[in-house]
Chain A
């Protein structure tokens, strides 16, 4: 029987939500790693019972957990994220230079073909890779060579929060960093190029079209069209049709083009989803209405999806890693909120149901379909 497993990272632990393919009745696990912040929990596409979790705390630092039984049991693996060489300094809020220092892992992205391969995006921003299931980590330090001294922390920190792997080309990777921008590697992560042409950050950067420094919030790609990228920037929803060489805005009729997550429908490469919030100063939905917006044309024309979502007095946020899709025939859309709600739509966003009302603030949501 097909099972849907939703992996939820929160401020106070991880939760695993399970259902059958109808996605109507859900079991909610007891908290895993209770009391710790779980920035990301993600499963291997090759072996769905292999999970990785980023367990972090201001008190106790960073722990990486690994499971080989779908989250029933866990093993702490290596947490030594050592920058290669002297990482030097990066730009800070006050224009000073601040020494690079590891703080936490924001994103864990297992390899598409090898469950032992996993990438980690960290704060202060860097990309690490493990080829032994998290038993050791090596920095892909060429990324910091791309004007790393000019990167600066966003409000959440100088974090590498998004990692995309090209299913058609194992040597091609994309990452996004706040506030540095988007970057692409064509050689498995050894060397990198900034891919920020077309991004305009008026009022945020001295040069609004600078090649680095943009506050990219998330990236998305459909596996069947890996050259087409979508981006939710600080402000602006963007699209590239040439692997990031040039971007153009597709915010269109959105009520606000500020937001954090962006995802692509599992079976429709031109159907994308965002969750607009009011502004950089007011991180909640416009008009107190939680609305997911869907474009079936790859951007510009957007429709509000509201059926089953709170449309009154709602002032939660949906963070960059807290919107996800499943791969079932009727594509499921999932979101988690800063208010601790998790919602599902089993029909591509037309209707929504609440999975669970009162989790801790949700940091990340990933979905697995297990057959």
Chain B
């Protein structure tokens, strides 16, 4: 089970808690996680990646295992610890402004 952490505003939009658990078919990647997340919560479509291009929204970051995966290929396999549910896949609203 993949454990996905949502930022506050997306928790509110999806009416869910901080962590969402998802079944994701291997190979587990950013794309397959986001596909599964959007399938369960259609209201999140377009909030994490552009609807027209599927590119990551500029102020959205993806963290896992103390690493930033935001700039890696969306199809690159994620670490085993994420696949096994030992580590969370974190969707983060970037610090900007303020």
- Give the shortest distance, in Å, between B95 (CB) and chain A (any CB): 10
Tell whether A59 pairs with B94 under 8 Å between CB atoms, given A35-B9, A102-B52: yes
Q: Are B51 and A63 in contact (CB under 8 A)?
A: no
Chain A interface size, as a band, is: 10 to 19
Q: What B residues does A102 contact at CB under 8 A?
A: 51-52
Is A61 located at the chain interface by the 8 A CB criterion?
yes
Asked whether A80 and B94 contact (CB < 8 A) given A35-B9, A57-B9, the answer is: no
- Closest CB in chain A relative to B22 CB, distance in Å: 19
Residues of chain A in range 7-59 having any CB-CB distance to chain B below 8 Å = 34-36, 57-59
Query: Main SS of the interface on chain B?
Result: loop
- A36 partner residues in chain B, CB cutoff 8 A: 9
Known contacts A76-B43, A80-B46: A59-B9 contact under CB 8 Å: yes
Could you say which residues of chain A place their CB within 8 Å of the CB of B51? Answer: 61, 79-82, 102
Report if B31 contacts A (CB, 8 A): no
Which residue of chain B is the closest to A62 with respect to CB atoms? B46
- Minimum CB–CB distance from B59 to chain A (whole Å) comes to 4
- Is A93 part of the contact surface with B, judged by Cβ < 8 Å? no
Complex contact A79–B10 (CB within 8 A): no
Residues of chain B with a CB closer than 8 A to A81's CB? 51
A59 near B45 with CB under 8 A, answer no
Chain B, residue nearest A77 (CB): B43
**How many B residues touch A, CB cutoff 8 Å?**
21
- The 8 Å CB contact of B46, one of A34, A59, A63, A83, is A63
B54 to chain A, nearest CB (A): 12
Residues of B with C-beta under 8 A to A59: 7, 9, 57, 59-60, 93-94, 96
- Say yes or no for B39: interface residue by CB 8 A criterion: no
Kindly state whether residue B16 has any CB partner on chain A within 8 Å: no
In the complex, residue of chain B having the shortest beta-carbon distance to the beta carbon of A79: B46
Given contacts A76-B13, A102-B52, contact A63 B47 (CB under 8 A): yes
CB <8 Å contact, B52 and A60: no
Q: Which residue of chain A has the shortest Cβ distance to B47 in the bound complex?
A: A60
* Given A35-B9, A36-B9, A76-B13, A61-B43 contact (CB < 8 Å): no
The answer to whether B93 and A60 have CB atoms under 8 Å apart is yes
Which residues from chain B sit less than 8 Å from chain A, CB to CB?
7-10, 12-13, 42-43, 45-48, 50-52, 57, 59-60, 93-94, 96
Residues of chain A at the chain B interface (Cβ within 8 Å): 34-36, 57-63, 76, 79-83, 101-102
In the complex, the 5 A-B pairs of residues with the closest C-beta atoms, listed nearest first:
A76-B43, A60-B47, A59-B59, A59-B93, A79-B46
- A selection of 28 A-B contacts at a CB cut-off of 8 Å is A36-B9, A58-B59, A59-B59, A59-B93, A59-B94, A59-B96, A60-B10, A60-B13, A60-B47, A60-B57, A61-B46, A61-B47, A61-B50, A61-B51, A61-B57, A63-B43, A63-B46, A63-B47, A76-B13, A76-B43, A79-B45, A79-B51, A81-B51, A82-B51, A83-B52, A101-B52, A102-B51, A102-B52
